[in-house]
Structure 1
Amino acid sequence: MCGITGWIDFTKDLTRERGILQQMNRTLVSRGPDAGGTWFSPHAAFGHRRLIVIDPEGGIQPMVRTVEGRKFVITYNGEIYNMGELRLKLLSLGHSLSTRSDTELILTAYIEWGEDCLKYLNGIFAFAIWDECRQTCFMARDRIGVKPLFYTKIGDSFLFGSELKSLLAHPFVEPVIDDEGLAELLVMGPARTPGCGVFKDIYELRPGQFLRYGRDGIKTGTYWELTSRHHEDNLETTAHKIRELFQDAIKRQLVSDVPIGTMLSGGLDSSAISACAAKVFQEEKRGILHTFSVDYIDNDKYFHVNEFQPNSDAPWAELMADRIGSEHHTVLLDNFELFDSLIQAMEARDLPGMADVDASLFLFSREIRKEMTVVLSGECADEVFGGYPWFHREEMVNADTFPWAHLVTKRIPFISPEIKARIRPMEYAEARYQEALSEVPRLSEDNAGEARMREMFYLNLTRWMPTLLDRKDRMSMAFGLEVRVPFCDHHLVEYVWNIPWALKKYGNREKGLLRYAFRDLLPKEIVERKKSPYPKTHHPDYLRLMKKQIRQLLDTPSAPLFQVLDRKEVENFMNQDLTQLHLPWFGQLMNVPALLAYWWQLNEWMKKYKVVIK
C-alpha cells in the first residue's frame, strides 16, 4: 500500500511550486515509509509515498510511460489481485512490460483501454493518471472502497490525496466546517455519508466511481454498482460457490514479496481466512503461517458476559491456531497506553472516530508491523452475510431508519441548542436515510420482507461498512501495515448480494449460510461460536482516565468542545455514577468510556486541526 497526492492547475507553472507538493506528500510518509517520489509538469504535479510489497525495483512511483509520443504518469495506492491474467492479456495485445509491478499493469491497461481499464482490474486501489497530451487527469477508486481518495477544487486548483491531511497541508485549503460537516460529525458520527469529506468543499470519491478532470472541469461517473437479479442456486450449490469464491480470493490476496500473515480472533470470519491461508502456505511450501490476536491486560479479571460480547477471544484463537498449526502471537494492550493513543488514532483518521476501538487497532497494527508487512483480516463478513443483531431483530428490521440510529438519538441531547437549530439532527438523519434507500437496486419479484432485507444489506454495505474500512485503512497504514480484506472481494459480494435472506440466515443464525459453507473447513466449536465483536477493554482504570479527562475539559472555559456541545448537559451526564450507567443498544458500538473518548477526540481534533465553524 501507499499514499498518493496531486495538484493540477491550468493557470500556474507547478514546476515552481515544488515545496507545496512535497509538503503534501510528507503527510503520507507513514502510509509509504519505504520510498517517496514526485513528478512535475507545468500544470500537473504528482506525489507518492511507497510501501514496498511487490517488485522493489520495478514499482517506483510516480511512474512515467511514453507511447507513440504521448506521455502518461500514474500515482497509485493498492494491490491488483489478477496480475497474472492482466499481464498475459496486455502482452497478447502487443504491449511490452519491463517490471513485475501492478503499477505498470494499471498504467498500461489505461493506455490500452482508456477508462474501460477499470473493468479489467480485480483489487483494491485508488489511483490518478495524467495524460500530458490531452491535459486530463483520470482517477478511480476500487469497487468496495477499501482504499481512500479525497479531492477538492479551490479556485483554479484541483487537489487530491489518500488522506484529508494531505489536502489540508496545501495553503489554499482551510479547515472549515459548515452545517453539513457539523451534522456529519455530531449526528452521523463515524458512519459518514458516502462522498462527504466533512471539511467544507472536500469530497471523497465514492466506491466504484471514477473522476475526470481537465480544462472543462470535474466529471464523475460510476463504473460498478450492485445489481439485483434472481438467485437460482440451491443451498448446496450456493454454499459450494461461496467456498470457491472465498478460497480464490484468499489465494490471490496471499501474493506478496514481503512477510504476510493473518489476524485471528477465533471468530468464524478470521478463522476461515486463517484456515484457507494455512492451506495455501502448506500447498506452496511457504513455511508456517503467522497469526495475530489482540486483548487487554487484566481483561480476564473484569470481563462480563453480555449480549454483544458473549465470550472473550483468547481460548478460541488458541484453539484455531493449534488446529491449523500457525505460529500465534497474542498482543496485549495496556489501558494507559490505549488512553494515550486516542489522539494519535484521531490524527490517523483525521477525524474523531470510533474512539478506543480505533486506538486499540492502532496499537495492534503497530505490534503486527514489527513482524509482518501484510496481513489478511475478516472485516465486512457481517455486512455481506448478515452478522449483526439488527439483521435478526424484528423491531430493528422494521424501524424505518438506519439500524444504528440509536447512536444518533443518544448523541442529540448533548449538542448545543445553537448547533441543533442549525443542523436539525433528526431531519438530517432522515434525509440521509431516504437518500440511501433511493439508491437500492430493487428486484420486482421481492416480497415486502425480502425487499426490506435488501434495503438492510444495502445500508450496511454502503453506509456502515465504509466506517470499518476507513478504520482499518487509517489505523494500519499509520504504521505502514497493509491489511487485505477477502470478504470485500467484489465477486463474492456480487454473488452473496442476491442470495435470499432465507438462505443467508440458514439455521436462524447470524451468518448462518457462511457457517454452513465452512462447516467442514473449521472445528465445530468455531462454526457454532456466537458472534463476538472486536474486543473492548473492560478495565475500570480506563473509565477513570476518561472521566478525569472530560472533567478537565469542563473546567477549561476555552475548550473547543463546547462550541458544539452543551456544557451543562455534559456536566449533568458526568455527575451520574457512570460505573452503573448502561447506554441501551450502544452495546458493541459504544459504551460510556467510548462516549467520553469520542468527546475528547472531538475537542482535540478541533484544537489540533484549527477547525473553523462557519
Structure 2
Amino acid sequence: MCGITGFIEWRGDLTQHSQLLVQMTETLANRGPDAAGTWISGPCAFGHRRLSVIDPENGAQPMITRHDDKVYAIVYNGELYNAPELTKELKQRGHHFRTQCDTEVLLHAYIEWGPDCTEKLNGIFAFAVWDGQREEVFFARDRLGVKPLFYSQVEDVLVFGSEPKALLQHPKVQPVVGPEGLAEVFIVGPARTPGQGVYKDLQELRPGHAMIYSRSGLRKYAYWTLESQKHTDNEEETAVKVRELLQDTLERQLVSDVPVCSLLSGGLDSSALTALAVDYYNRTGQGRVNTFSVDYVDNDKHFKSHSFQPGADGPWIKRMVDELQTNHHYIAFDTPELAAALDNALFARDLPGMTDVDSSLYLFCREIKKNATVAISGEAADEIFGGYPWFHREEMLSSGTFPWSVAPKMRAGLLSPEIRDWIRPLEYLGDRYSDAVAEVPKLDGETGKQAQMRIMSYLNITRFMPTLLDRKDRMSMGVGLEVRVPYCDHRLVQYVWNIPWEIKTVGGREKGILRKALEGVLPEDVLYRKKSPYPKTHNPAYLNVVRQQVLNILDDATSPILPLIDAARIRELAASEESSSNLPWFGQLMSGPQLFAYLAQVNLWLKTYNVSIK
C-alpha cells in the first residue's frame, strides 16, 4: 500500500517544478514510510510513497518500462489479489518480468490491454499510468472504492493524489469551500456524496470509474457497476456459494511477504474472517494468527444498551480467542488519549469525520503497526448483507432520505440563518437522495418489498460503505498500516446484491444467509449473536472534554466556525440533559459527545487548512 500524487501540464517545462512534486509526495509519507520516488518526463510528473508488502526489494515506484520503444510509467496504491493468474497469462502473451511485485503486473496488464485492463483486475487500487504510445494518462479506482483517488482540473493542469493534502500543496488547488461543500460537511455526513471532494476545485474519482487525460481534455467513465439479475440459486446453493466466495477472497488476501493479522471484535463478521484465517494458517503450516481488539478504559462501567449497540464485545472476544487459540492483543485507550487523537484523525482524513470512532481507530492502528504491517478487517459486511437496524425498520425504510440522516432538520438547526439560506441544506440533501435512488439498477418485474430492499442496499453500498472504507483507509494508512477488506471482493458483492431479501434474512435474522454460510465455521452462540458495531466510548469524562472544547471555541471571537453556526443553539444543547446521552439522538449515528467533537473538528479544519468560504 502506498500514496500517489502528481500533475500533468501539457505546456511548460515541468522539470522546473521538481521541488513542488517532492513537497506533494512528502505529505503522503505516513501512507508509505518505507521509500519515496518521483519522476518527471515531458508533461507528466509522478510522485510515490511506498509501504512494502510484496517483494520489498524490487517494487520501487514510479515504475518505468519501455515497450515498442515507447515509455510507460505507473504510480499505484493497492493490492492485486489475482496477480499470479495475470502474470501467467501475460507471460503466455510474451511479457517478461523483472520483479515479483504486483506493480509490474499491473503495468504490463495496461500495456497489453490498455484501459480494458480494469476488467481483469481483482483487488483494491488507485493508479495512474503514463501511456507513451497514446500520450495520455490513464487513471482507475477499484470497484468498491477501497482506495482513494482525488483530482483537480484547474485551467490547463490536472493534479491528483491519494489524499487532498497532497493536491493542496499545488498552487493551482486552493482550499475554497462553497455552498455544496458546506452542505456535505454539515448535512449529508457522515456519508459524502460520491465524487464530492468538499473543496470547490477538488473531486474524487468514483468507485468503479476510470478517466483518461489527454491534450484534448478529460474523459471519465464507469467500467463497473452493480448489475441487477434474477437470482436462480436456492437457499442451500446460495449459502454454499457465499462461503466459497468468502473463503477464496480471504485466502487470496492472506498472501503477503510481511506479517498479517486479524482485527477481532467478537462479532459475526470479524470472527468469521479470523476463523477462516486460522483454518488456512493451520492447513499451510504458518503458525498462530495474531488478533487485535480495541476497547476503552472503564467502558464496562458506563455501557448502556441500545438498538445500535445491543451488547458489549469483551466477553465475545475472549470467547473467540479461546475457541481459535489466536495470539491475541487487547488494546484499551483512556479518555485523554482518545480526545487528543481527534486532531490526528482530522489531519489523516483532511476533513471532519466520525470523531471518536475515527480517533480510536487511528490509535488502534498505531498500536497494531508495532506488530504487523497488514491486517484483515470485517468492514462492509453489514452494507452488503443488510445488517444494520435501518434495513429492518419500516419507518426508516420509508423515511424518504438516507437512513443515517433521519434528523436533518435538527442538524440544519445548528447553522446560522445566513448559512442556512445560502446552502439550503434540506433541499441539497433531498436532491442527493433523489440522485442516489435514480441510479439504482432496477430488475424487471421487481416490486414492493424486493424493490424497496434493493434501494436500501444500493444506498448502503454506494453511499455509506465508501464512508467507512475511507475512514478505514485514512486512519490505517495514517500510521502506515495496510488493512484488507475481504467482504469488498466485487464478485461477492455482485452475487449478494441479487440475493432476494427472504433468502438474505433466512431464519428471520439480519444477515441470515451469511450466518447459514458460516455454519460449522463459528460456534453457534457467536454465529447468532446480535450485531454490535465498532465500539464507542461511554465514559462521561469524554463528553466533559469535548463539550468544554466547544464552549471554549464559542467563547473565542476568532474561531472560524462562528459565522457558520447558531452559537446560542449550541450553548443551549451543551447545557441540556440530552447532551450527556450516548444514545444516537442527533441523527442515527451521532450522540451528544460526537456532536461536540465534530464541531471542534470543523473549527480546527477551517483554521488549520486555512479554508475560505465563498
Question: Which residues of 2 match residues 215-614 of structure 1 at below 5 A?
Answer: 215-578=215-578, 580-581=580-581, 585-586=585-586, 589-614=589-614
Does the CA-based 8 Å contact 1:533-1:588 persist in structure 2?
no
**What corresponds to 2:57 in structure 1?**
57
Give CA deviations for 1:308-341 in whole Å, capped at 9, x if unaligned: 2121111111111111111011110111110001
Does the CA-based 8 Å contact 1:176-1:611 persist in structure 2?
yes
Secondary structure (helix, strand or coil) at the match of 2:432 reads helix
**What corresponds to 2:115 in structure 1?**
115
- Inter-partner Cα distance in structure 2 for 1:426 and 1:588: 17
Deviation at 1:15, TM superposition (A): 1.1
- Inter-partner Cα distance in structure 2 for 1:59 and 1:311: 45
Secondary structure (helix, strand or coil) at the match of 1:341 reads helix
Cα pair distance change 1:208/1:301, threshold 3 Å: same
Does the CA-based 8 Å contact 2:352-2:601 persist in structure 1?
yes
Give CA deviations for 1:264-305 in whole Å, capped at 9, x if unaligned: 000000000000011111111111100010000111111122
Secondary structure (helix, strand or coil) at the match of 1:127 reads strand
- Inter-partner Cα distance in structure 1 for 2:489 and 2:160: 26
Secondary structure (helix, strand or coil) at the match of 1:242 reads helix
Deviation at 1:408, TM superposition (A): 2.7
Give CA deviations for 1:108-149 in whole Å, capped at 9, x if unaligned: 011001111111110000000001343200000000000000
- Inter-partner Cα distance in structure 2 for 1:405 and 1:362: 25
**What corresponds to 2:199 in structure 1?**
199
Give CA deviations for 1:65-119 in whole Å, capped at 9, x if unaligned: 1011010000000000001110100001111111111000010011001111111
Deviation at 1:575, TM superposition (A): 2.3
Counterpart residue identity of residue 485, structure 1: V
- Inter-partner Cα distance in structure 1 for 2:33 and 2:546: 33
Question: Which residues of 2 match residues 76-87 of structure 1 at below 5 A?
Answer: 76-87=76-87
Counterpart residue identity of residue 87, structure 1: T
Deviation at 1:587, TM superposition (A): 7.8
Counterpart residue identity of residue 278, structure 1: V
Deviation at 1:378, TM superposition (A): 0.4
- Inter-partner Cα distance in structure 2 for 1:321 and 1:566: 49
Deviation at 1:579, TM superposition (A): 5.6
- Inter-partner Cα distance in structure 2 for 1:581 and 1:113: 56
Does the CA-based 8 Å contact 1:406-1:585 persist in structure 2?
no
Q: RMSD across aligned C-alpha pairs, in angstroms? A: 1.1
- Inter-partner Cα distance in structure 2 for 1:403 and 1:459: 9
Cα pair distance change 1:351/1:395, threshold 3 Å: same
Deviation at 1:250, TM superposition (A): 0.5
- TM-score, with normalisation over the residues of structure 2? 0.99
Cα pair distance change 1:587/1:202, threshold 3 Å: closer
Question: Which residues of 2 match residues 175-190 of structure 1 at below 5 A?
Answer: 175-190=175-190
Does the CA-based 8 Å contact 2:226-2:494 persist in structure 1?
yes
Give CA deviations for 1:187-207 in whole Å, capped at 9, x if unaligned: 112310000100012100000
- Inter-partner Cα distance in structure 2 for 1:32 and 1:582: 36
- TM-score, with normalisation over the residues of structure 1? 0.99
Counterpart residue identity of residue 401, structure 1: T
Cα pair distance change 1:556/1:585, threshold 3 Å: closer
- Inter-partner Cα distance in structure 2 for 1:408 and 1:329: 40
Counterpart residue identity of residue 239, structure 2: A
- Inter-partner Cα distance in structure 1 for 2:196 and 2:286: 43
Secondary structure (helix, strand or coil) at the match of 1:94 reads coil
Does the CA-based 8 Å contact 2:144-2:488 persist in structure 1?
yes
Counterpart residue identity of residue 494, structure 1: Q
Give CA deviations for 1:418-451 in whole Å, capped at 9, x if unaligned: 1100111111111000100111000012122111
- Inter-partner Cα distance in structure 2 for 1:144 and 1:340: 32
Deviation at 1:30, TM superposition (A): 0.1
Secondary structure (helix, strand or coil) at the match of 1:560 reads coil
Secondary structure (helix, strand or coil) at the match of 1:17 reads helix
- Inter-partner Cα distance in structure 2 for 1:585 and 1:556: 28
Give CA deviations for 1:504-549 in whole Å, capped at 9, x if unaligned: 1112211111111112110111011100111010111101111211
Structure 1 stretches of 4+ moved >6 Å: none
- Inter-partner Cα distance in structure 1 for 2:19 and 2:528: 57
Counterpart residue identity of residue 560, structure 1: P
- Inter-partner Cα distance in structure 2 for 1:580 and 1:45: 51
- Inter-partner Cα distance in structure 2 for 1:579 and 1:62: 50
Deviation at 1:410, TM superposition (A): 2.8
Counterpart residue identity of residue 439, structure 1: E
Give CA deviations for 1:478-524 in whole Å, capped at 9, x if unaligned: 00000000000000000000000011111221111111111211011
- Inter-partner Cα distance in structure 1 for 2:593 and 2:398: 30
- Inter-partner Cα distance in structure 2 for 1:189 and 1:227: 27
Identity %: 55
Does the CA-based 8 Å contact 1:150-1:203 persist in structure 2?
yes
Deviation at 1:588, TM superposition (A): 6.7
- Inter-partner Cα distance in structure 2 for 1:168 and 1:251: 38
Give CA deviations for 1:239-274 in whole Å, capped at 9, x if unaligned: 000000000010000010000010000000000000
Does the CA-based 8 Å contact 1:308-1:587 persist in structure 2?
no
- Inter-partner Cα distance in structure 2 for 1:410 and 1:515: 37
- Inter-partner Cα distance in structure 2 for 1:582 and 1:266: 22
Give CA deviations for 1:357-416 in whole Å, capped at 9, x if unaligned: 100100000000000100000000000000000100111111222111225333111011
What 5-or-longer segments of structure 2 have no aligned partner? none
**What corresponds to 1:44 in structure 2?**
44
- Inter-partner Cα distance in structure 2 for 1:279 and 1:376: 15
- Inter-partner Cα distance in structure 2 for 1:575 and 1:278: 50
